[in-house]
A and B are shown apart, each in its own frame.
Chain A
């Protein structure tokens, strides 16, 4: 009997403590904070890839720079050129501030996008955009870090018989390479430039 009372007190104490914890002011704003701390670090991470000049690059190669990370492929006629165009326009609008930014175009179609093809492609938009390729497993690892999906879609009408389905999102990573925002192909360049200007003002 006494033992049961002891149990009851213990259970009551645990319940009470849990209640206190739930209502505790140090828990902050609740779900919003939880999102910020739980989700933000899940986008981005280390990668090892090859630049168009053949050199090996990692995320650390761009340390201290804001990264714009975009995955695509050069045979893509619509989404990729539209997005890269917008990035190029935003860089132009930023003027010298663009030096703080490193845009990366990572191919998800290394079979067709050789270093030469990739180099020609990115420089047509802006010479500051770096084209990256790599071994299939390196690209897969980079894509996984950014939560990027890609898969071939076979169709006889496409060049070489396939198109690529892929996540078409620009990931904005701050100078510490923490995820801060996304742009899409619908984001007007002026809006991209504004967002980047604010990010630069915050970190300088």
Chain B
């Protein structure tokens, strides 16, 4: 069909390829070269930028939002902070982290969107790079740089830092990703949207109705009960297909408990109904054949966190299947040379304090990397690093019912120090037993017997490399129900 206009077949919405093409056609996108670019201004990114600036690095932090602080900046309830200062509200905590990073001398930029990677060749077609891009793919890795395309109200530019820290955080898994059928009325929200209405965008209040059903019964789900109440919306029920709620008893009591909101355990949300606006949902107890209706005008789909991984994926990083989180080793190195990751993008979702601690840990690894021999032979934008950047080594795996573990590789001893000695993980099912870390059949560590609950933070120590058999198999974390 030669008569058809030859539109370009771009395999990329908005990522590197089209953006780079636009930049080329315009011809004049300036490039700057800070030591480190931290992407994401939540707790992990802010703490990382503060620590790096203190260590003397020229560090720039880019956040796409107009306000720094990440999710805590929109979370009005108390309980944020580290150590003795745990009584702060989210915005107070965010403010502290911002002040710390500013005082340390980090350059903090808001409304700055990183659009994609500016690899030689076609950075935009990250999907294909990702398929074979296990970090050992020489042809791809040689092209992979740390250069990114950036936009914001002050204009387009290109940043070519020596190292990138991905601190892009996580988000709640939305309704359609959970395959919940039914109508598509207004009033189906996530917790974060409700929180933003409460703290930042009161003009969006029409989305929140008078009576909500909450899908999920983890920490954030109970937090949603509280935030909804502050907006004049009562909660009809929390729905979880798990056999129990997954939060701490005091939080449940302070939110749903005092308001008499039922938690419907072992129950599935089977449909959302309403034309124009939500009119109700259908729920069905697990194993039952009959559904029942609950009238409501709002549905809040909460938790079940997934990594905000677009940049990781466009960069061809190896990702964990269940959360989409980039694989990192004990130095918080991803599988892309020069690129580190920290915070809830690698463990969706831990508390702000854990995310910040991860950001600080990443800063130590990045600082060591900046002065290491690993940078020798690499050009200013990071190309040529690949041969010395081997993070896919010694993966850590999990076995059912464990869902994921982070870090999920140990990496090799080398120029960049190990900065993480504990891994966080999650279970998919409620189970009694011990957490066991082993290599092949050799047990390296075993926890006390405990009840493991989904959506709650679990931890295991990561084995030191000297305790491992270098020729042995992978390290596995599993649950032992015996003994």
A-B complex is real: no
Spell out B's residues near A (CB within 8 Å).
none
